[in-house]
Amino acid sequence: MKKTILKAVAKLGYNMALEAAGTASMYGTYQPVEPKALQQLRNKK
């Protein structure tokens, strides 16, 4: 049961990171540089 919950939380975090990658900040004043590893993960999907 514990492993199932942890896997679900990890998958949720992974999906949220992919969705958030490349988006602007709340006020549009700062656009962080997207890590290359995250770009590669997003391109694989």
SS3 labels along the chain? CHHHHHHHHHHHHHHHHHHHCCCCCCCCCCCCCCCHHHHHHHHHC
Count of CB atoms situated within 10 Å of the CB of 38: 14
* Model pTM score: 0.48
Q: 15 or 38: which carries more pLDDT confidence?
A: 15
The mean of the pLDDT values for the chain is 76
pLDDT above 80: residue 5: yes
Q: What is the mean pLDDT of residues 26-32?
A: 58
Q: What is the mean pLDDT of residues 11-30?
A: 70
